[in-house]
Amino acid sequence: MKVSVLMTCFEHERFVAQALDGVLEQEGVDFELLVGDDASTDGSRAVIAEYARSHPDRIRPFFPERNLGQGGKAIFGSLIARARGEYLAMLDADDYWTSPDKLIRQVAYLDAHPDCSMCFHDVLCTYEDGSRPDERYNGAEQPRHVSVSALLDRCVVASCSPVFRQAAIKPLPAWYFELPWGDWPLYFMAAGCGDLHYEPDLMGVYRIHAAGMYRGLSRLEALGARTAFYEGLRVPAGYEGELRVKLAESWVKRALEHNRLGQRAQALRCLATAARTSPPLALRAPGAVLRRGRGAAETSRSVQR
């Protein structure tokens, strides 16, 4: 088996058929499709079961009796454990692929570049509520080689785009299951095993909708998730110092937000934590945090991934 496609689903009845069709249209490569539904309460399982009956040679459904929790990471881990492919591709059931040669192109690249542990491509971000026009996730300016430093700044990989060497992320380490996000840490694991390669072509769609797991969080909640991510993340050797800086930055941003909300005591506690984490960075921030009023928040960028 060349590729195992791992699709996770939860309450995605409206979307899952399009996701399944995009995988089944892949040409030129031997693949299996493992679909795990995490105890959806809508009609997702019925849709998946019907597709599995129609494509028994391709689709292997996994229907646990209860929701496995951990923000979808547990069911993803169950799919990885069942995967037989040399390569692993991932896809949430609310996203979909648009190019029938997506897999064969990525497989061909990995076959030709044994030093590469993961390759990914650009996708189109579409806002279901129409609040913003469609936009590319990365764009042509994204470097072809992705460094660990770039990954620490932000998640530059759309979750519906990567193909991994199986050995780069299997088995999943225990710390993975404690993190807020299930996709971003995988890219650090892959970076510890080889190069990460980017192709600028659009070959998928990443949906942004109200039912998304982290949509609707307040800015303070989103910053808290970012802090928890950096606290639990393991990075390749040599990048521990950069990780501490990013962790300290997240505490400073939380201090700025608390200050904007008039919560000066919480702001000072966050700033003290930043100082303990990475003193040189934190020493540049007190003036902004201690200023009265709301202007300090303007120095903080968006925390969206």
Cα 212 from chain centroid? 12
pTM: 0.90
More confident residue, 302 or 128: 128
Residue 286's domain comprises 219-299
Residue-wise pLDDT tens digits, 194-237: 999 999 999 999 999 776 555 668 999 999 999 999 999 999 99
Q: Are residues 223 and 204 in the same domain?
A: no
Q: Are residues 226 and 185 in the same domain?
A: no
Q: Are residues 36 and 147 in the same domain?
A: yes
Residue range 86-115: mean pLDDT, rounded: 98
Q: State the total domains in the chain.
A: 2
User: Does residue 111 carry a pLDDT above 80?
Assistant: yes
The answer to whether position 305 is within a domain reads no
The answer to whether position 213 is within a domain reads no
Residue-wise pLDDT tens digits, 177-197: 999 999 999 999 999 999 999
| Two tokens, residue 249 | 């930055």
The answer to whether position 304 is within a domain reads no
- As a residue count, the chain comes to 305
Residue-wise pLDDT tens digits, 18-64: 999 999 999 999 999 999 999 999 999 999 999 999 999 999 999 99
Q: Are residues 92 and 132 in the same domain?
A: yes
Q: Are residues 169 and 39 in the same domain?
A: yes
Q: Looking at 169-293, which runs of residues are DSSP E strands? A: 195-208
Q: Are residues 245 and 182 in the same domain?
A: no
What CATH number has the domain bearing residue 133? 3.90.550.10
Peptide bond into 56 cis (omega under 30): no
Q: Are residues 236 and 178 in the same domain?
A: no
Terminal Cα-to-Cα distance of the chain (whole angstroms): 33
More confident residue, 235 or 141: 235
Decide the pairing of beta strands 96-97 and 3-9.
Answer: unpaired
- Residue that is last in its domain, among 155, 173, 208: 208
Mean pLDDT of the chain: 91
Q: Are residues 171 and 242 in the same domain?
A: no
